[in-house]
Structures are given as C-alpha cells and as structure tokens.
A and B are shown apart, each in its own frame.
Chain A
Amino acid sequence: MSEIAAEPGSFRDRTARVFYHDGHIFRGLSATALKEWQALSATGLYRRFAENGAIVTTRQREIGSLPFRLDEPWAAVLEHERLPFVSYPYEWSFEMLRDAALLQLDLVLAGLDEGIGLKDASAYNVQWKGATPVFVDIGSFYKRAEGEPWVGYRQFCQMFLYPLLLQAYRDVPFQAWMRGNIDGMDAEVCLNLLSARDYFRGGVLAHVYLQAKAQKAYNSTTRDVRAELNKAGFDTRIIKTNAEGLRKLVASLEWKPKQSTWSDYLKCGHYEAADAEQKRQFVRDVVATRPWNMTWDIGCNVGVFSRIAAERSASVVAMDADHLAVDKLYRALKAEHVPNILPLVVNVTDPSPNLGWRNLERKRINERGRPDLVLALALIHHVVIGGNIPLAEFVQWLRDLGGELVIEFVTRQDPMVATLLRNKDDHYSDYTEESFERELSARFKIARRQPLGSGTRIMYHAQ
C-alpha cells in the first residue's frame, strides 16, 4: 500500500485534515467532524451550493476500499474534486475578493435557516474554478448551537471586509497587506489607514471603529462573553441582520481606479495593433499543436492570448502584475462564463513566496502547478530592464517551470524598450537579440522563430 502526503497547511482544524494520494485530494474526519459532515450533507444548503458548483464536489469514501494506509485513525474519509490551480487572496483582484466575500456571506445566511454555522471565515477557504468562486473547506461547517454568536465575524472583517474597504475607499492595494499577514488585517490597522472623512462611509463606524475599540476594551477580559450572550438571549436574527447588512455593504463596494491607468492601457493596445494579428496567429499555431493540461500566460494584460490558449488548454492561469488589468479580465470572464481561465495578480519579478507556519502553509507559486505551456508575451523587457532581473536568470526560471514556451523578444529598437531605458543608466548589456537567442537555445530547442511586421519584435516557440 502506498503512502499518503499530508497537506502541511491543513493543521488548524484538528478534526478534519487534508492529505493527498496519487493526485487525489482527501480529507480525514474525526468522529465529531463526521457527525458535522452528515448533518451538512443532509441539508438543502449543501445540495443547492454543491449543484451550482459553489461548494467543492465531495464524496465520502469507504475506508476499507482506499488504496492507502491512513496516518491517523480517522472515522471517515472524504474525497474532494481537484481544482486546477490553488490561489491565495493576495493574488486576487478586488472583484475576486468581493465575490469570494459574497459567497462566504451567502453560506452564513443560508446556514442560519438550517442550523448550520461556519467555524471560521478564512478567505483561504475559497478557491476558483475559472472565474467561479468555490468554497473548499467542508470542515468549516458545523451544527450551530442556539444562542451562539457568529464566530467567524471578526475573521470575515479581517480577511474580506477591511481589505475591500481600503481598496474601495483609499485605493490602498490589499494584496500586499494580505501577503504580509496570513490572518488578514486587524481592525486597528484598518482604522489607522482610514481618514476621518471615511468614518462617514458605509461600514466604517460600526465594523471598523467600534470593533477596534471593543476589541481593545475586551482584549483582557475575564468574562465568558459567549456564555453571557447566550444567557442574554443571543439569537439567529442578530446574525441574519448583520450578515445581510454586510452583504449589502460588500455588494455596493466599488474600486474606481484612476483614469490615467486606463488610458495607459488604451495606448498600449493601440501601439501593438500592427503586430497583433501576426502574434495571435503565432500563438494560435502553437496552441493548436496538441491539447494542453495547463497553460500559464505570464504578463497576460487583459487576456487576449489566455483566451486563445484556453481553446486547447484544460486550464489557463492568466497572471499580470497589474491589478487593474486582472480585475478587468476577471469581470469579462465572469460575464462570459469562461470556465477555464483563472486570472491572478502576480508580479513575476516578485512571485508569491512560501508563507505561514514553517513556511509551508501557503506555497510559492511554482509549487502549485506545472504548466506544460508558458506564454511570455511582451514581458521580457519589463522583467530584464524594468525589473533588473538578469536575462539568463529569467530564461532559466522559465525553463524550470517545465513546459514549452512561447516568448516574444522585444528588441532594443522597439519604442517600449526605449521608454523603459529613458532616465536609466543602460547597464543591460545582456539585453540583445544575440544574447537572448544564446540563452534560450542553451536551455530549450527553438522550434520556430518569426519576426513580427514592425521588425522590432520576434516570436519564438521553444521546447
């Protein structure tokens, strides 16, 4: 019998832990967690959300029929559907975090009618299937006792509401804060980042100001507040009113980025128009050579090439450092119900690292999937000149991803390169066509090379 691999990030809930075997995802349940699962799986809530794909597809396995030995005496084992790519809140766009927050609130509200609660409100409990949020932590559901407050409220604020408020009200990018603290953002920190004017905006006074003050007043309490609330008659109507109010608030939040950023996009789009069709055809040709399991489109912008790749890829991860571009792409994918493109905010010169307990809780981006096709279009000049990454190191990084590569080399004659070099000392002697081809052919076999019509850009298919 072969061994299982425990998920190192699944330790907070002792009663339900995730592990892997042969590419499949399982969750061991204690006797208590088994009862919770039985209660949940009998509800209309579970049926409705699972049917819509909003809760991860799950089935209970017969322990005797499992082809592996369990590491703990679990009372039951669940098998979950494997989602194409695991992502984290610090890689999501505003709209993605907002939709994940709405899903969390919908589950809380739906659970109230059927006596089901959620133990936590971690943003990490939500994953994505294309542009559709999927709740994956089955162990989070439990049978609520009457008179119990919403235990996940504080975490909901830290992981969803405060990051959204800051982005919407102050244009503060939430990703860096989420990446900086695995537990999200404290009420007090959020309060410090808001201005006095913001106190009059939706949600600030109650969810931020009052909560920060109440937490301070009660942070060393000797009282059993939970028991006191129970005795005073805390009931589900309180949770319902609060969660409904939060839902309304979250749904109304909008991130309105500055117009100048948008206009930059238009300029970019216009500039590339001459080469665009040739480039699209080149990518289409490579994509058509065979079906792909996973494509990474690094520097995807608004996803033109991700969409081409998606025609023959089981899944596409579309990454860009530009939050606005990713948010725009997400909204388009959501509106069109594109099932296999996941847009993420990722800066390739500073990709997501290993984080959390033992640095194993959240994995760096390269460990979460192996692309068999990588697109790196109109990217290399930003990485080498803009990001100061040595060209050879960047090509090696692409090689280490393990897949075939479609890469566009933007020559020094290109106006974009000239723009990047303006006001900079040119110490990028490695940034030449010759040097690029040397580094590329040292690590890949160049299957096809095609200069684009403008003459300043060259497309490569490398295997």
Chain B
Amino acid sequence: MSIAFICFVLLFVWVSETRVDAYLDPGSGSMLVQLLLGGVAGVAVIARLGWQRFRDIFRSSGSKPEGPTKSHE
C-alpha cells in the first residue's frame, strides 16, 4: 500500500470530521496519529475507518431526519 494512498485515506478521515463547539478533546487526534505510526496493522485500520465514514455519509444522507410526531402539534 503506497504512502500516497495512506495519506489520501487519512485526509479523508480528517476532512470527514464534523466539528461543533464542544469541549476540547485533543486526545482523539493523538489516537488517530497512532494509526499512522502503527505499521501495516495501523494502515488496515485507517482503511477500515475511512470506509466506515464513507459509508456513514451515504447512510445519513439516505435516511430522513425524524421530525416531531403530529400528535404533539
């Protein structure tokens, strides 16, 4: 697996990150960096993580958000 591919997947993982104003959590970033430093096993997890997120995009865009039920109106 080429370095370019790993970088591409990692970029995807990063770009797909959703950001809101929440508490600071610098630990999550460090956990993901461990994958890059984890050799072949790390790369495999990056690929699976990228795939999970890619799949999530389609799942979330395909499903309609649940609105309040009529009875409450």
Question: For chain B, which range describes its interface: under 10, 10 to 19, 20 to 34, or 35 or more residues?
Answer: 20 to 34
Per-residue B-contact encoding for A188-215, CB less than 8 Å = 1, 0 else: 0000000000000000001100110111
Bound-complex Cα distance A216 to B32 (A): 12
Per-residue B-contact encoding for A207-227, CB less than 8 Å = 1, 0 else: 100110111111111110110
Bound-complex Cα distance A221 to B39 (A): 25
Per-residue B-contact encoding for A226-245, CB less than 8 Å = 1, 0 else: 10110111110111011001
Bound-complex Cα distance A149 to B32 (A): 9
Bound-complex Cα distance A153 to B25 (A): 14
Count of A-B residue pairs with CB < 8 Å:
115
B39 cross-chain contacts in A, Cβ below 8 A:
237-238, 241
**CB atoms of B37 and A219 under 8 A apart:** no
The residue that A219 contacts in the complex, of B14, B24, B35, B52, with Cβ under 8 A, is B24
Bound-complex Cα distance A98 to B44 (A): 32
**CB atoms of B24 and A214 under 8 A apart:** no
**CB atoms of A218 and B28 under 8 A apart:** yes
Nearest A-chain residue to B24, judged by Cβ: A219
Nearest A-chain residue to B52, judged by Cβ: A232
Bound-complex Cα distance A441 to B20 (A): 68
**CB atoms of A225 and B37 under 8 A apart:** no
**CB atoms of B32 and A233 under 8 A apart:** no
**CB atoms of A218 and B49 under 8 A apart:** no
**CB atoms of B41 and A238 under 8 A apart:** yes
**CB atoms of A232 and B45 under 8 A apart:** yes
Evaluate whether A218 and B32 lie within 8 angstroms (CB atoms) in the complex, with A234-B45, A237-B39, A238-B42 already known.
Answer: yes
Evaluate whether A211 and B33 lie within 8 angstroms (CB atoms) in the complex, with A218-B25, A228-B49, A232-B48 already known.
Answer: yes
Q: Is A92 an interface residue (CB 8 A)?
A: no
B42 cross-chain contacts in A, Cβ below 8 A:
238, 241-242
Q: Is A35 an interface residue (CB 8 A)?
A: no
**CB atoms of A221 and B18 under 8 A apart:** yes
**CB atoms of A220 and B52 under 8 A apart:** no
Q: Is A154 an interface residue (CB 8 A)?
A: yes
**CB atoms of B38 and A215 under 8 A apart:** no
Bound-complex Cα distance A242 to B41 (A): 11
**CB atoms of A238 and B35 under 8 A apart:** yes
**CB atoms of B45 and A221 under 8 A apart:** no
Q: How far is the CB of A105 from chain B (nearest CB, A)?
A: 13
**CB atoms of A222 and B20 under 8 A apart:** yes
Evaluate whether A149 and B21 lie within 8 angstroms (CB atoms) in the complex, with A228-B49, A241-B42 already known.
Answer: no
Evaluate whether A226 and B37 lie within 8 angstroms (CB atoms) in the complex, with A220-B24, A221-B18, A221-B22 already known.
Answer: no
Binding site for B on A (CB under 8 A): 149-151, 153-154, 157, 206-207, 210-211, 213-223, 225-226, 228-229, 231-235, 237-239, 241-242, 245
Can you offer 22 A-B residue contacts whose CB atoms are under 8 A?
A149-B31, A149-B34, A151-B27, A211-B30, A213-B29, A214-B14, A214-B30, A214-B32, A214-B33, A215-B30, A217-B14, A220-B25, A222-B19, A223-B28, A225-B28, A228-B49, A229-B35, A232-B45, A232-B48, A238-B42, A241-B39, A245-B37
